[in-house]
Amino acid sequence: MMPQPVLSDLAALLCIASILMIPLAVAGLSLINTGLGRARSASQMILSSLCVFGVAALVYFAFGFAWQGYPGGPGYQMFVAGRGWSWIANSSFFLRNISFDGSPASLASLFGIFSVALAAVIPLGSGTERWRLGAACASTALFAGWTYPLFAHWVWGGGWLAQLGTGAGLGRGFVDAGGSGTIQAVGGLTALSIAWILGPRYGKYTVEGMPSAIPGHNSVLVLFGCLLTLIGWLGLNSAGSVLLNGVELGQVIKVILNTTLCASAAGLMAAAFTYVRFGKPDASLTANGWVGGLAASSAACAFVVPAEAVVIGGIAGGLVILSVEWLELRLSVDDPSGSVSVHGVAGLWGILAVGLFGRFPSSAATGASGAPAGQWLAQLVGIATLIGFVLPLTYGLNWLLDRFYPLRVSPEGERQGMDLYELGAGAYPEFVTHSEEFMQRKL
Amino acid sequence: MKPLGFSILLAGWIIVCASFTLLVPGGARVAFLVSGVCVEIMGLGLVVRSHIAPRRVRR
């Protein structure tokens, strides 16, 4: 069992302040997802974000945190070759065994509720304009109650991935300070599953298989969302580093600096990349690059120097642009917000970056002390777990849900737009786009 | 093809897990681990291909 971390009062206060910033990242992603969809589904998208936040928080409170647990908490061990590996926590449901006194366990539960909400909003972007509200909530319940807590336990709850350092001699074990894997990659792979199960939007691909451009309706929302996500990510990375990785308070300055530099480099790389390719910088792809930089920054933000954060961000920006294009053109994946590339691909790159660039101070309480030999192998095991276990799990759960409760809206609903079909009214009633906007609301 | 692809993904992950739980640190362990990742890449390729084909039929 991993030792329970100890936090000073000042560290606990900083954690609370940082955790309170995380909802701004959720707000930012919601605005980005809304702006990158068409106007006729804007209201449904932002309502879906709100409902998904609520479902994720409630389910995580009821069951999720009990499966996730915290370092030093109770858990089930699996014994392989004479060594115990913690595979799931055994805390009480409904947070009954948590004393809300600023203890690391209580802070971990607070951090977890906002983190799971952030992760749950990510797949909404790939299901834009065709994912029913009820189905999104049901899928979120599975995500927040099982998929996310299981992987979060392995990384942040003292589970087997965190034990790789002490148990198998792989560096410090799997390290993910702010959630490049636990939040971003898990959310991004779920987004891929959703995009696969739902299929592309009507009219997205021609009979010959060529994709048609369906531009987002509001780039102002998208770019303002990017600024909000930065603030949220500063809190996410700071709280994760201090609370779950034992990073000293003074190092938070480096965390904030690295997060900002990583996003800046990624955003500028994306703008430059699109300028070179298309003659003008593309607003939505630049936004994707920016958020991709934030996703990649999370894992390594406390363990690299600022110059390395710039390199990580630059590579993330380029990867996101190439990935968006590749998924749409070659793999026929209709992902209107680029969630798979932004959170999945950039998140996986962020995990790998810890193995390539990470340097660990002796005070970081993430496992064994000394030089992190084999760290890249620990990170590779984490990536292999995400692709080899989490992707089949999240796909299987959503596929099963789709059998009983179809995820995709009917063709009629897709033709009308999600606002009118599911909510009975559009987001922008004063802007007449076509006559169907004025159909009677069903009472 | 989809179930086969996902099965290969899981098989690759099990190989990865077996490498660090059953083998001592050294070259064999690294080779085993990287082999597991390669098996996963094959499985992922199959899963991706299986999702492209039906979409073209639907269109």
pLDDT tens column, A304-362: 999 999 999 999 999 999 999 999 999 999 999 999 999 999 999 999 999 999 988 76
Least Cα separation, residue B42 to chain A (angstroms) = 11
What radius of gyration, in Å, describes the C-alpha atoms of chain B? 15
Size of interface A-B (CB pairs under 8 A): 74
d(CA A256, CA A237): 8
Mean pLDDT of A18-40: 97
Q: Count of CB atoms within 10 A of residue A34's CB? A: 29
Of B21, B33, B40, the CB nearest to A80: B21
Residue B59, pLDDT > 50, answer: no
Residues 6+ apart with CB under 8 A from A89: A66, A67, A68, A69, A70, A73, A74, A75, A76, A149, A153, A157, A159
Number of domains in chain B: 1
Least Cα separation, residue B33 to chain A (angstroms) = 8
Residue A197, pLDDT > 70, answer: yes
pLDDT of residue A430: 76
Please check whether residue A3 lies inside any domain of the structure.
no
The DSSP symbol for A131 reads: B
The verdict on a CB contact (< 8 Å) between A164 and B20 is: yes
User: What is the dihedral angle through the alpha carbons of A183, A187, A188, A190, rounded to the nearest 10 degrees?
Assistant: 150
Q: Do A317 and A268 meet the contact criterion of CB atoms below 8 Å apart?
A: yes
Please check whether residue A335 lies inside any domain of the structure.
yes
> What domain range includes position B7?
2-58
pLDDT of residue A390: 98
The verdict on a CB contact (< 8 Å) between B20 and A170 is: yes
Cα angle value B2/B6/B8 (rounded, 5°)? 115
The verdict on a CB contact (< 8 Å) between A387 and B51 is: no
Q: Do A223 and A353 meet the contact criterion of CB atoms below 8 Å apart?
A: no
pLDDT of residue B25: 87
Least Cα separation, residue A380 to chain B (angstroms) = 8
The verdict on a CB contact (< 8 Å) between A388 and B10 is: yes
DSSP state letters, A241-254: HHHHH---GGGHHH
Residue A75 in tokens:
């858990």
The DSSP symbol for A428 reads: -
Q: If DSSP codes are grouped into helix, strand and coil, which group holds residue A30? A: helix
Query: What is the domain-level CATH number for residue A203?
Result: 1.10.3430.10
Residue A249, pLDDT > 50, answer: yes
d(CA B54, CA B40): 22
The DSSP symbol for A79 reads: E
Give the lowest-confidence range in A2-11, A81-90, A201-210, A401-410: A2-11
pLDDT of residue A365: 47
The verdict on a CB contact (< 8 Å) between B55 and A385 is: no
Residue A227, pLDDT > 90, answer: yes
Cα angle value A298/A300/A303 (rounded, 5°)? 135
Residue A439 in tokens:
């159909």
For helices A22-35 and A42-59, the axis angle rounded to 10 degrees is: 150
Please check whether residue A302 lies inside any domain of the structure.
yes
d(CA A384, CA B38): 10
> What domain range includes position A82?
9-438
Q: By CA distance, what is B37's nearest residue in A? A: A384
Residue A178, pLDDT > 60, answer: yes
The verdict on a CB contact (< 8 Å) between A388 and B48 is: no
Residue A167 in tokens:
């148990």
Residue A6, pLDDT > 80, answer: no
d(CA A178, CA A175): 9
Closest among A273, A380, A31 to B16, alpha carbons compared: A380
Number of domains in chain A: 1
The verdict on a CB contact (< 8 Å) between B21 and A395 is: no
Please check whether residue A115 lies inside any domain of the structure.
yes
Least Cα separation, residue B19 to chain A (angstroms) = 10
Mean pLDDT of A205-222: 90
Helix/strand number for chain A, H first, E second: 19, 2
Q: Do A148 and A390 meet the contact criterion of CB atoms below 8 Å apart?
A: no
3-state secondary structure chain B: CHHHHHHHHHHHHHHHHHHHHHCCCCHHHHHHHHHHHHHHHHHHHHHHHHHHHHHHHHC
The DSSP symbol for A436 reads: G
Please check whether residue A119 lies inside any domain of the structure.
yes
